[in-house]
Amino acid sequence: MSEQLIAQAKAWRAQDPDAETRAELETLIADAEGGNEAAVAELHSRFDERLVFGTAGLRGRIEAGPARMNRVLVSQAAAGFAAYLLSRETTPSVVIGYDGRKNSQIFATDTAELMAGAGVRAIILPRLLPTPVLAFAVRELGVSAGVMVTASHNPPDDNGYKVYLGGPDGGSQIVTPADAEIEKQIAAVAAEQNVLELPRSTDYETADDTVVDEYVRRTAALAPAEPQPLRYVYTAMHGVGLETARRVFTEAGFPEPIVVEAQAHPDPAFPTVAFPNPEEPGALDLSYATAAEAGAELVIANDPDADRLAVAVPHNGSWRRLSGNEVGALLGWRAAQRMQWAGKDGTLAASIVSSPALSEIARQYNLDYADTLTGFKWVSRVGGLVYGYEEALGYLVDPDKVRDKDGISAALDFLSLVSELKASGTSLEQHQRDFDDRFGAYASSQVSVRVTDLGEITRVMARLRQDVPSHIGTQRVASMHDFSDGFAQFPPSDILRFNLESGARLIVRPSGTEPKLKVYIDASSTDGSADERRAAAQAIVDELDAGIRTLIA
C-alpha cells in the first residue's frame, strides 16, 4: 500500500457528492489503512486507471473511484465534454436522455446542471426514455450534441454515458479523434478541479413530449398502410421500451402487444433475468411462456434501453430466437427491395463481424456495400446509408430519422415483414427458405470467453499473431489479416481475421464493452436444396467453433 494511493482515495472521497459511494469508499480506505490486502487491491483496481471512452462512451460498475461509474466521474465527464463543445462553437447545445438504471436520472441531472453552468444550452428529456429517442432528438432539435445515460444490456450494477455529436456528425456517436479530444478535456478537469466547485446552474430546459410524439409518428410511418392482425408478445426486459414501442405499434395499425408483465416496467435490479440481454440464455424464457399461453405468432424483445431487438418464432413445439445475423439479413433484403421498388440507389452496411449475407444482397440488388469496424458509431456514418446492422442485435432501418441502432423501428419493420408475408399467404419460415435459395444459406456462431484478468486477452491475441494456426479443426487457414497496424480502409484495431480455404471466415477481437474475448464464425453454402445448404454451412461453423475453442483455451 502506498501513501499516494490512500491520498488519491481520500481526495476522491472529499469531492464525492453521493453519500452511498462516499461511505463505501470510507470503509475501503479504513480497511486498507488497517492492513487488509483485499481492500488495498480493490483501491488499486479503482484508482490505478480511469474509465475512458470506448465503443459506447463510458461504461462501468457503479462504485467510487475513477475506474468506476459515479457522480464524480460523470461530473468530470460532463464538464470536460462541455469544454470540448465550447472549443468548437460559441453557443453549443446538448440534449440529455436517461433510462431506468440506478443513478441514470441523477447522472443526467448532474450533466444538465454542469452543462448549463458552463454556458452550454442544455435540454433534458421529459422522463426516462429509450436511447433511440435521444438519438432522434439530437437530429430533431438540431443541437450540437447528445448524452444518453444508459448501460444498455450490461449487468444491473453498471451504468454508462453515451455521447453523440450533431452538425456534420449527423447525430452519430463519437469516433476518433473526437473521443480522444473529449478525453483530454475530461482529464484536465480531473487533474485541476474539484467537482464540488464546478459551476452549476438549474437554468436548463426540459423538453416537452413533442419530440417523443414526432419520433412515434415518423417510426409508425414505416409500416404498411393496412397491416395484417398479428398476435405477438413484447418484452421490455425491465427497461424503458414499452411505452414508446406500444405507441409506435398501435399508431402503425398493429394490435396491442401481449406484454410480459413481469418485465414490463423499469427495474434497475432486473429481477427476472440473470443478465438483461436478450442474447443471453434464459433471458427470453418468460416471453416464451407468455407466448405459448397466448398462442402468439411472434416474440419481440427490446433490451433495457430499447436500442436492440430480438425476435423469436415458434419452432417444433417450442420457441427459437433468430440470430442477429438472421434478422439482419431479412431486414436487409427488405431494405434492398424497398430501394428497388423506389428506383433508388444507396448503401447497405454491416460491421465486419456480421454475416457476409448482406454484401451478397447488395450485390444482387446492385447496391453499394460497406464493411465497418465493430460498433454502431461506424455503421451509422457510412455515406448514402439506407440500412445497416451488426450481429449483436443492432439494426438501423431508417437512417434519415436516427443515426444509431434502433430496436423499436426495427421491431416495427419486422412486424411489417411478417404482416406482409401473412397477407400474401406465406410464412416467415418459407421466406427464410426463399432467402437461402436466392442468396445462399449462411450460418454463424459466436464464442465468448469472459475473463477476470484482462491480460489474458492480450496474451491470447499475441499468441495467435505469433503462431498463426495452419488449421482450425480440419479447416485449412488460407490467410490471416491482422488489423493492428491498419488493414484495407480500417484504422489500427486489435482484430484478427482468419480466412479459410472453404470460404468460411473467423474473426477474433476483445470486446469493447465487457471483459471478454469474442470470436465470430461465418460460413455459407450454395450447393443443393435450401435444407442441404443450411446443413453444409452449419457443419462448417460447428467444426470451426470447436476448433477455435481449443486454440484460445
Whether the ω angle into residue 199 lies within 30 degrees of 0, i.e. cis, is no
Separation of alpha carbons 371 and 320, rounded Å: 28
Q: What type of residue is 11?
A: A
Burial bucket for residue 250 (CB in 10 Å: 0-12, 13-18, 19+): middle
User: 122: closest CA among 90, 172, 87, 82?
Assistant: 82
75 included as an active-site residue: no
Name the pairing type of β-strands 121-124 and 205-206: parallel
Q: Which three cell numbers stand for residue 112?
A: 444538465
Separation of alpha carbons 215 and 244, rounded Å: 9
Name the pairing type of β-strands 505-510 and 516-525: antiparallel
**DSSP symbols for 315-380:** ETTEEEEPPHHHHHHHHHHHHHHHHHHHT---EEEEETTS-THHHHHHHHTT-EEEEE-SSHHHHT
Asked if 396 and 139 count as a contact pair (C-beta separation under 8 A), the reply is no
**DSSP symbols for 248-273:** HHHHTTPPPPEE-GGGSS--TT-TT-
Torsion of CA 89, 93, 97, 103, to 10 degrees: 80
Reported as type and span, the H/E element at residue 499 is strand 496-500
Determine which one of 152, 351, 493, 502 is catalytic.
Answer: 152
User: 521: closest CA among 502, 533, 55?
Assistant: 502
Sign of CA dihedral 210, 215, 219, 221: positive
Q: Which three cell numbers stand for residue 1?
A: 500500500
The 3-state DSSP class for residue 484 equals: helix
Separation of alpha carbons 215 and 18, rounded Å: 34
What are residue 245's phi and psi, to 5 degrees? -65, -45
Q: What type of residue is 234?
A: Y
Active site residues per annotation: 152
